Amino acid sequence: MPAEEHKWFIEHTSPGTAHMFGVVNFLKSMRTEYQQVEVADTTQFGRILILDGKIQSAEYDEYIYHEALVHPAMLICPAPRRVLVTGGGEGATLREVLRHPTVEKLVMVDLDREVVEICRELLTSWHQGSFDDRRVELHFMDARQYLEETDQLFDVILSDIPEPVEAGPALKLFTRQYFELISKRLVAGGAFALQAGDCGLPFIEAHSAILNTIRQVMPLALPYRAFIPSFNTEWGFILAAAEGREMPAAEALDLLIQERRLDLRYFDGETAGSIFALPKDIRARLAAETRTIDDDNLISVY
């Protein structure tokens, strides 16, 4: 389609940079109680979900993001039975967790019921009916409040919370206090993974501070990244676990994937070796980080 025949969505990634997406049609644009939500069909990436002006996932490549978020933590645990997802409104994180045959209970806690309902209606290829799986238990409330009030323990906790945008609902879900709550709700030997913002220079500031904060709370915190085409950057994740846990070697990881009969498009042993191997300049930047995020010292992205 010639450029002059479609609209443009511009995602501002910093005061001096932006991504542009040719839009065929806007299917939804509204303000919920908590955030601005938009769903659009684009020329290159298919359908996209946008929250507060930031693309959360795209039909073309959401499998990369969600497989990278979910499977390292799930595979580091021998037989994950109880899993908690905070955020994850598209339902694709649920989809990936439910691939693991040992899962008996999957709790999802999302603040914004309206966003989840929009995703259930318009992002069916993301969730593929996962919201209706008998193992799934949905709670529409603040994830931090849920962690403070529950006495349940989980084998794996996955945080699929949007970036901490200034004045957004996620600011206190990247703090030391939040990660301490996560740690208390993990079984001995449990694992935690989260999306942790842009991992590419020069936009690594938030990711670096999040990693340093988790390292104050959990014995093992491993940064990793995956290139997400619709984000046009190396996106950062962090895997945190009990001391003594480590990502299996490539052959062992492939065997685990085969044993669990996981039909994955992106993640396997060779991919794990790549995404956990950070380049020298990124390692140096992360090693130099001294900031700790807490309730009195929040961090936000542009």
Q: Can you give the pLDDT at residue 215? A: 95
Q: Is 160 a catalytic residue?
A: yes
Give pLDDT tens digits along the chain (302 positions): 455 567 899 998 888 899 999 999 999 999 999 999 999 999 999 999 999 999 999 999 999 999 999 999 999 999 999 999 999 999 999 999 999 999 999 999 999 999 999 999 999 999 999 999 999 999 999 999 999 999 999 999 999 998 776 666 778 899 999 999 999 999 999 999 999 999 988 889 999 999 999 999 998 999 999 999 999 999 999 999 877 778 889 999 999 999 999 999 999 999 999 999 999 999 999 999 999 999 888 877 76
What residues form DSSP beta bridges with 41? 25, 47
Selected catalytic residue, list 110, 142, 160, 198: 160
* Separation CA 15–CA 193 (nearest Å): 29
Phi, psi of 82 (to 5 degrees): -120, 125
* Separation CA 194–CA 197 (nearest Å): 9
CATH 3.90.1150.10 fits 62-287, yes or no: no
Angle, alpha carbons 199-201-202 (nearest 5°): 120
- Domain ranges in the chain are 3-57, 62-287
HSE (side-chain half, CA atoms, 13 Å) at 152? 15
Q: Can you give the pLDDT at residue 4? A: 59
* Domain pair 3-57 / 62-287, same fold: no
How crowded is residue 171: how many other Cβ atoms within 10 Å of its Cβ? 17
What is the amino acid identity at position 73? Answer: A
Give Cα 213 to chain centroid, integer Å.
17
DSSP string, the chain: --GGGSEEEEEEEETTEEEEEEEEEEEEEEE-SS-EEEEEEETTTEEEEEETTEEEEETTTHHHHHHHHHHHHHHHSSS--EEEEEE-TTSHHHHHHTTSTT--EEEEEES-HHHHHHHHHH-HHHHTTGGG-TTEEEEES-HHHHHHH----EEEEEEEPPP-BTTSTTGGGSSHHHHHHHHHTEEEEEEEEEEEEE-STTS-HHHHHHHHHHHTT-SEEEEEEEEETTTTEEEEEEEEE-TT--PPPHHHHHHHHHHTT---SS-SHHHHHHHT---HHHHHHHHT-----BTTB---B-
CATH fold for the domain made of 3-57: Spermidine Synthase; Chain: A, domain 2 (2.30.140)
Alpha-carbon distance values, 288 to 48, 211, 239, 255, 283 (Å): 35, 11, 19, 36, 9
Is 168 in contact with 298 (CB distance < 8 Å)? Answer: no
Residues in the chain, total: 302
Give Cα 168 to chain centroid, integer Å.
16
Q: What is the CA radius of gyration of the chain?
A: 18
Q: Can you give the pLDDT at residue 15? A: 85
